[in-house]
Amino acid sequence: MSEIVFRPIGTVRSPFHEPAGTPVQATASRAAVGVIELFPEYQAGLQDLEGFSHLILIYHCHLAKGFSLKTKAFLDNREHGVFATRAPARPNPIGISTVRLERVEGARLYIREVDIVDGTPLLDLKPYVPRFDCFPEAQSGWFEANLTKLDQARDDGRFAK
C-alpha cells in the first residue's frame, strides 16, 4: 500500500502547553477555551459554519510517542487493546474531539470544551450534526464502568515523547 500524507490546515491553540495535565476528553473540560488558527488559504472553507454549535476536530497527536497494541488507558488500570481505547499513542496518532464553537472571526475559530495540547496540528474539521453523530443506544464497552472518573482524569504524560 502506498504512503498516505496529510498536511495540516491550521493549528489548535489551548491553555494546555504539554500533555500532562490536559483533560482526557472534551466533556471534562467545559471551561477550557481555545482558538483554531486556520491557515489563510483555507478560510473560504469556513463559509456557513457559524450556524453550528459544535465541531468535530481531527488532528495529529504530534507529541505522542511510539505505540503498543496493548495499553493502559487513562480511565482504567487494566490493559486494553489500543483500538479499544482513545489513547493518543497509536499506529496513526490521529485524535478526534468534539468542541463547542463560540464564533468565527476571519480564519480564527473560537472554541470551548477543549482537550487538545496547544500547538497541535489540525488536519480537518467537520460540523457536528446530532442526527448524524449521536447514537443514544450506543454501548460504551469497558468505559461504562469508568465514566465516573472522567471529570477528574487528566493526562499524566504516559503517552508523550
> How high is the pLDDT of residue 158?
64
For residue 96, being part of any structural domain is answered with yes
| Residue 23, CA distances (Å) to 10, 32, 50, 107 in order | 21, 9, 26, 26
Residue 44 resides in a domain: yes
148: in domain = no
Q: Is the pLDDT of residue 85 over 70?
A: yes
| pLDDT for the residue numbered 43 | 98
- Please check whether residue 25 lies inside any domain of the structure: yes
* CA-to-CA dists, residue 79 to 27, 34, 84, angstroms: 23, 32, 10
Mean pLDDT calculated for residue range 78-87: 90
> Binning pLDDT at 50, 70 and 90, where does residue 152 land?
low
Helix (H, G, I), strand (E, B) or coil at 23: strand
Q: What is the pLDDT of residues 104-141, one digit of tens each?
A: 999 999 999 999 999 999 999 999 999 999 888 988 77
Report whether pLDDT(83) > 90: yes
Separation CA 128–CA 126 (nearest Å): 6
> Structural domain of residue 74, as residue ranges?
11-129
Q: Mind giving me the DSSP string for 58-127?
A: EEE-TTB----SEEE-TT-SSEEEGGGS--S-SSS-EEEEEEEEEEEETTEEEEES--S-TTEEEEEEEE
Separation between Cα atoms, residue 124 and residue 30, nearest integer Å: 22
Residue 34 inside a domain? The answer is: yes
- The reply to whether 54 falls in a domain is yes
The total number of structural domains in the chain stands at 1
Please report whether residue 98 resides in a domain. yes
Residue 4 belongs to a domain: no
When pLDDT is averaged across residues 75-87 and rounded to a whole number, the result is 86
pLDDT of residue 117: 96
pLDDT of the residue at 147: 61
Which of 89 and 49 is assigned the larger pLDDT?
A: 49
Query: Residue 107's domain is classified under what CATH number?
Result: 2.40.30.70
78: exposed, middle or buried (Cβ count in 10 Å: 0-12, 13-18, 19+): exposed
